[in-house]
């Protein structure tokens, strides 16, 4: 028998065996195909193997190598077909899978308690007619201090009590040496927004601004270097202190509850006159949550308003302290810890 005929017979055997194995629909038909091709006594492979004796001695090495390759290929095809029928193949459906059962629910994030508080405050003040205004977090001393009637010798302008920044071409050290202040700083209050709004609009004005402010305070249970404020501003004709107290009481009752006790204490702020501190009772202790007052005439003049024709009030409330009071949180640092065990509670 020629080598060429022998190799052709092997190729045909391999093709027929692979087709038979892959086409088996169950274990019984697969076993029948195995006996046909790999049977020890009457298998087709056994018959072809016997033909090796009729090959010329010079061609037997090549014929034997090809015979072994075909044998391994047929055995591999049988093993793959058997594994597929037993459920191990990728194309087979796991018989234990129940598509009617609910899937694995992915872990989803949710809104941070500070953001929840900001959204709630916005909704409450919106019901009283206040619209939201925004401003930059990097400010200049004029908007952060001068326009708010804060004199140069006021402790609030101390470089050690603010985060001054170096501007392009001017180092913060040079600016501090010349004026005691840098040319720009992270805003220390959201009152800067009311200045920008009044510079761009005429009364009546009724706005709130919520955002981050920065002061170099040592972190403790009630202080943090970065926190959030809600600034409120109302400017119109014949606005009085009674209007301010009413707005703050309505706000406190809506957010903190009807049972909350609040008080107003006389205070001083350069940008309001008269001024008050607003406190609420928490765990038997009065906690300050904001300052307020009637807008100082010097502030109106700085933005081009006539203080003889308009009046108004402003207030600033600490968002974190309101959030802590509502949720019973005793340490502000927990809000910025990033600890999911804590944050997942809200």
Q: In 166-225, which ranges are E strands?
A: 184-186, 205-214
Name residue, tokens 């006790």. Answer: 261
* Residue 131 CB contacts under 8 Å (≥ 6 apart), including other chains: 206, 207, 208
Cβ neighbours around 225 below 10 Å, total: 14
Quote the CA–CA distance of 201 and 328 in Å, as a whole number.
Answer: 40
DSSP H/E element including 118: helix 113-127
Measure the N-to-C terminal CA separation of the chain; round to a whole number of Å. Answer: 85
By the 8 A CB rule, do 232 and 314 touch? yes
Q: Please report, for residues 53, 70, 90, 133, the alpha-carbon distance to residue 36 in angstroms, rounded to integers and kept in the order given.
A: 22, 15, 27, 85
Closest CA to 221 of 275, 287, 306: 287
Residue 273 is assigned to a ligand binding site: yes
Quote the CA–CA distance of 201 and 210 in Å, as a whole number.
Answer: 19
Q: Please report, for residues 61, 63, 73, the alpha-carbon distance to residue 9 in angstroms, rounded to integers and kept in the order given.
A: 17, 11, 15
By the 8 A CB rule, do 30 and 21 touch? yes
213 phi and psi angles, rounded to 5 deg = -135, 160
Closest CA to 271 of 297, 237, 253: 297
Quote the CA–CA distance of 124 and 170 in Å, as a whole number.
Answer: 44
Quote the CA–CA distance of 165 and 137 in Å, as a whole number.
Answer: 12
Quote the CA–CA distance of 164 and 140 in Å, as a whole number.
Answer: 9
Q: Which residues are annotated as a binding site for Mg(2+)?
A: 273
Q: Which residues are annotated as a binding site?
A: 273
């Amino acid at each position: 028998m020629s080598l060429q005929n022998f190799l052709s017979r092997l190729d045909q055997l391999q093709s027929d065996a692979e087709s038979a194995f892959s086409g088996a629909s169950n274990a019984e038909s697969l076993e029948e195909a195995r006996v046909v091709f790999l049977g020890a006594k009457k298998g087709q492979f056994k018959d072809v193997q016997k033909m090796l004796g009729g090959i010329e001695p010079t061609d037997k090495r090549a014929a034997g190598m090809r015979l072994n390759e075909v044998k391994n290929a047929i055995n591999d095809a049988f093993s793959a077909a058997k594994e597929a029928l037993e459920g191990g193949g990728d194309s087979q459906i796991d018989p234990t899978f129940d598509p009617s059962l609910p899937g694995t629910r992915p872990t989803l994030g949710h809104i941070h308690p500070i953001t929840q508080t900001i959204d709630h405050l916005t909704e409450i003040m919106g019901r009283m007619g206040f619209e939201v205004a925004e401003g930059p977090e990097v400010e200049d001393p004029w908007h952060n201090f001068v326009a708010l009637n804060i004199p140069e010798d006021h402790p609030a302008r101390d470089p050690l009590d603010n985060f001054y920044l170096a501007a392009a071409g001017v180092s913060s050290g040079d600016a501090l040496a010349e004026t005691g202040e840098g040319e720009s700083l992270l805003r220390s209050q959201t009152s800067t927004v009311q200045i920008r709004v009044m510079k761009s609009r005429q009364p009546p004005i009724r706005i709130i601004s919520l955002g981050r402010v920065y002061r170099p305070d040592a972190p403790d249970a009630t202080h943090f270097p970065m926190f959030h404020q809600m600034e409120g501003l109302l400017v119109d004709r014949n606005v009085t202190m009674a209007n301010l107290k009413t707005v703050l009481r309505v706000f406190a009752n809506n957010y903190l509850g009807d049972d909350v006790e609040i008080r107003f204490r006389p205070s001083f702020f350069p940008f309001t006159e008269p001024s008050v501190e607003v406190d609420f009772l928490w765990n038997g202790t009065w906690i300050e949550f904001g300052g307020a007052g009637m807008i100082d005439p010097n502030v109106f003049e700085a933005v081009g308003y006539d203080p003889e024709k308009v009046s108004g009030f402003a207030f600033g409330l600490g968002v974190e302290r309101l959030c802590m009071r509502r949720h019973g949180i005793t340490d502000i640092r927990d809000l910025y810890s990033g600890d999911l065990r804590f944050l997942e509670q809200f």
